[in-house]
A and B are shown apart, each in its own frame.
Chain A
Amino acid sequence: MLRLSIRSSACAVAVFTAFAAPTFAESLTVSNWDGYMAADAMDSFNAASGNEAELVLHATNEEIMGKLIASKGIGYDVVFVSSPFAEVLNNLGLAETLDHAKIPNIANLFNEATLLPHDPGNTFSLPYAWGTTGLCYRSDLVDEPTSWGDLLMPAGDVSGKTTMLATDRWLLAAGQLQLGYSVNETDPAKMAKVRDLLIEAKKTLLAYDDTTFYAKLVSGEAELVQAWDGWCNYGIGENADIKYTIPAEGSDLWVDTMVILKASEHKEAAYDFVNYILDAKNHRWAAENILYKVPNKAAMDGVDAGLIEAFPNMGMSPVEMLKFEQLRDVGAAQRDYSRLVSEIKASN
């Protein structure tokens, strides 16, 4: 009933604005991960602005980057990508230099979120969600892990019941952090040590898993997994014995961002869109529904206290998060990373 009434009123607004401002209607193409913003976000943005924004989906950063690099950014107006990829878009000259006067809601961001190392001053990217990568575990089956070593060199009864993330950067980060290196380390000798450690770790692993690790925890197939905090929350939501912790060696700080493309032919609408997302209410939807922290003070201030009690990592402050090093674009070393990961995955 509620949904029905919202939809019909949205239709009414859409009809009204279509008549009121037909000359301003701009078609806008936004690419985001599936389920990463409100299902009705596009409709309500269109209703509010009179635009005809369309959402397309990408499964991975690399997928959308492949398309953007091939088309020189033509065909897209706003894309959601992780910060190292936003850096690449900027380095390639594909990202629009942001005019803050057109994004008044930028004032809602935490101060820390405007000074992120990849883009201090938000010159080409706006943070959408941020968080940490740590250990997600079944507190009824294993003791609280305190070190990345608990994952990489698991005790006998946990061996074979751990998973690691399959994506290059995070898979390597577990080893880099354990050895006390930067998560952006590229020195070949140090990375060879990381590789050797991760090859040993692979022997104790149940699987590499980016998408269903929390389901494996819920079923008991796995007991300790490397996880993004927000995804661990999906497990916590199904089983309160599942907990999230950051090992003593630390975590990376990951930031997913919105980038307007320089090639966009609908810049006004694109600015309206990112401003609309940064609205406290709209951005809070993301925090409350996808269970990721958002870098929006106005949005986080309004988050229900019960939610933070149920999902403690939602309460982590920007100061706490910024203790961790942000993943950065490593340029040509990315190819070395890919090769290291192939070597690790091809080992027996």
Chain B
Amino acid sequence: MSSDRRPLILMSPAILWLFALMVVPCALILVLAFFRRGIYGGIEYIWTLENLRLVFDPLYFNIFLKSASVAGLSAGIACVLGYAAAYAIATMPRRNQPLLLFFAVLPFWSNYLVRTYAWIVLLNREGLIVNLARWLGYQGELPSMLYTEEAVVIGLVYNYLPFVILSCYAPLLRLNPEITEASRDLGASAWTTFRRITLPMTVPGIATGFVFVFVLSIGNFVTPALLGGGQFQMIGNLVYAQFLTANDWPFGAALSMVLIAVMLGLLMAQAVVAERASGLKKGQGNG
């Protein structure tokens, strides 16, 4: 066997798997977006752009915008918290770092649904937080924390925070300490060094973390359904409803198509940012 064919042979099972179980079903769903819904939920094979037009109807488009703002807020908060945690871990003594990283990803060992349910136990009106406040002597009525937009953001940040920690940790660790030392030697304060040296050099990690959280959040439907109490719809819930309750597969397909386009666009932008940044580093190294 010639060695240049080996990668192809090794990759082909994975490619076949992805093609048969991911690309083909996705293509089938996307084609549905251009057909008409039958009166009882079947599909009439009559070509139409009506479903795509409906996606940009103010009602549904606003749900898109709302989802994007919730996903953006969650990704922003996750980046601040995650970067701080990654920075703390990366500056710890080397031997402690694996254990801390282990704790950061520990929540992934349990089921997403269970972790989300845990927040219901914590936040509900008769839940642990309220009972703790009462036990500490607080008498007044507490505002409902569960089934709100804030609860959804909390749930999304909590569930996706480890992605940001991991994506920021790697570039922080790779950062050459001599560069920051040089900055300090030349008279820059610790804050200036962080702001002018550390932060810009780790932007690709932050961008990766942000895009990951954003993309995972904008299409999420479990967290808004459980922590939003059904009162708060994100685009994922709308897609879910089209396929499973409204039986309007063509419209659900059209919504998915736009959602996938947004996600692909963001992932490609993130790839470009990462590519530029690595090119920049190379350029600096040569120059």
Q: Report how far A161 CA is from B124 CA in the complex, Å.
A: 11
Contacts of B60 in A (CB 8 A): 342
From A66, A219, A335, give the contact of B124 (CB < 8 A). Answer: A219
B183 CB-CB contact with A under 8 Å: no
Given contacts A65-B41, A66-B249, A346-B66, 20 further A-B pairs with CB under 8 A are A60-B244, A60-B245, A62-B244, A65-B40, A66-B41, A66-B243, A160-B144, A168-B246, A206-B144, A206-B147, A207-B230, A208-B230, A209-B230, A220-B126, A221-B126, A335-B246, A342-B241, A345-B230, A345-B232, A345-B233
Docked-complex contact A92 and B246, CB < 8 angstroms: no
A205 CB-CB contact with B under 8 Å: yes
Instruction: List A residues 84-116 near B (Cβ within 8 Å).
Output: 88, 91-92
A338 CB-CB contact with B under 8 Å: yes
With CB as the reference atom, state the residue of chain A lying closest to B147.
A207
A202 CB-CB contact with B under 8 Å: yes
Q: Report how far A208 CA is from B231 CA in the complex, Å.
A: 6
Q: Report how far A33 CA is from B245 CA in the complex, Å.
A: 15
Q: Chain A's nearest CB lies how many Å from the CB of B43?
A: 8
B136 CB-CB contact with A under 8 Å: no
Docked-complex contact B229 and A207, CB < 8 angstroms: yes
From A69, A166, A209, A219, give the contact of B42 (CB < 8 A). Answer: A69
Docked-complex contact A345 and B231, CB < 8 angstroms: yes
Q: Report how far A205 CA is from B124 CA in the complex, Å.
A: 14
Q: Chain B's nearest CB lies how many Å from the CB of A344?
A: 9
Q: Report how far A62 CA is from B248 CA in the complex, Å.
A: 10
From A332, A342, A343, give the contact of B39 (CB < 8 A). Answer: A332
Instruction: List B residues 210-269 near A (Cβ within 8 Å).
Output: 229-233, 238, 241, 243-249
Kindly supply a per-residue 1/0 record for chain B positions 124-138, scoring 1 wherever the CB is within 8 Å of any chain A CB and 0 otherwise: 111000000000000
What are 19 A-B pairs with beta-carbon distances under 8 A? A62-B245, A62-B247, A65-B247, A66-B243, A69-B38, A69-B40, A88-B40, A91-B40, A92-B42, A202-B231, A205-B229, A208-B231, A209-B230, A221-B124, A338-B248, A342-B238, A343-B59, A345-B230, A345-B232
Chain A interface residue count, CB cutoff 8 Å, equals: 35
Inter-chain contact total with CB atoms closer than 8 Å: 83
B62 CB-CB contact with A under 8 Å: yes
Q: Report how far A70 CA is from B37 CA in the complex, Å.
A: 12
Docked-complex contact A206 and B229, CB < 8 angstroms: yes
Q: Chain B's nearest CB lies how many Å from the CB of A157?
A: 10
Smallest CB-CB A-B distances: 8 pairs: A207-B229, A208-B230, A338-B246, A69-B42, A207-B147, A62-B245, A166-B230, A345-B233
Please list the residues of chain B having a beta carbon within 8 angstroms of any beta carbon in chain A: 37-42, 59-60, 62-63, 66, 124-126, 144, 147, 229-233, 238, 241, 243-249
Instruction: List A residues 190-228 near B (Cβ within 8 Å).
Output: 202, 205-209, 219-221
Contacts of A343 in B (CB 8 A): 59
Instruction: List A residues 218-258 near B (Cβ within 8 Å).
Output: 219-221
**Most-contacted residue by chain B among A66, A219, A331 (CB, 10 A):** A66
Q: B-side binding surface: helix, strand, loop or mixed?
A: loop
Q: Report how far A253 CA is from B38 CA in the complex, Å.
A: 27
With CB as the reference atom, state the residue of chain B lying closest to A61.
B245
From B66, B233, B238, B248, give the contact of A335 (CB < 8 A). Answer: B248
Q: Chain A's nearest CB lies how many Å from the CB of B215?
A: 22
**Most-contacted residue by chain B among A161, A219, A335 (CB, 10 A):** A335
With CB as the reference atom, state the residue of chain B lying closest to A343.
B59
With CB as the reference atom, state the residue of chain A lying closest to B230.
A208
With CB as the reference atom, state the residue of chain A lying closest to B60.
A342
Docked-complex contact B229 and A167, CB < 8 angstroms: no
A339 CB-CB contact with B under 8 Å: yes
Q: Chain B's nearest CB lies how many Å from the CB of A71?
A: 11
Contacts of B63 in A (CB 8 A): 342, 346
Docked-complex contact A346 and B62, CB < 8 angstroms: yes
With CB as the reference atom, state the residue of chain A lying closest to B246.
A338
With CB as the reference atom, state the residue of chain A lying closest to B249.
A66
Q: Chain B's nearest CB lies how many Å from the CB of A153?
A: 17
Docked-complex contact A205 and B248, CB < 8 angstroms: no
Contacts of B144 in A (CB 8 A): 160, 206
A63 CB-CB contact with B under 8 Å: yes
Docked-complex contact A69 and B41, CB < 8 angstroms: yes
Contacts of B249 in A (CB 8 A): 66
Docked-complex contact B244 and A66, CB < 8 angstroms: yes
Q: Chain B's nearest CB lies how many Å from the CB of A269?
A: 27
Instruction: List A residues 300-348 near B (Cβ within 8 Å).
Output: 331-332, 334-335, 338-339, 342-343, 345-346
Q: Chain B's nearest CB lies how many Å from the CB of A126?
A: 21
From A168, A205, A339, give the contact of B245 (CB < 8 A). Answer: A168
Q: Chain B's nearest CB lies how many Å from the CB of A86?
A: 12
Docked-complex contact B230 and A70, CB < 8 angstroms: no
A207-B229, A207-B231 known; A335+B37 contact, CB < 8 A = yes
Q: Chain A's nearest CB lies how many Å from the CB of B281?
A: 45
Q: Chain B's nearest CB lies how many Å from the CB of A92?
A: 6
A60-B245, A66-B247, A220-B126 known; A346+B59 contact, CB < 8 A = yes
Contacts of B39 in A (CB 8 A): 331-332
Contacts of A220 in B (CB 8 A): 125-126
Docked-complex contact A167 and B126, CB < 8 angstroms: no
A166-B230, A206-B147 known; A221+B125 contact, CB < 8 A = yes
Contacts of A345 in B (CB 8 A): 230-233
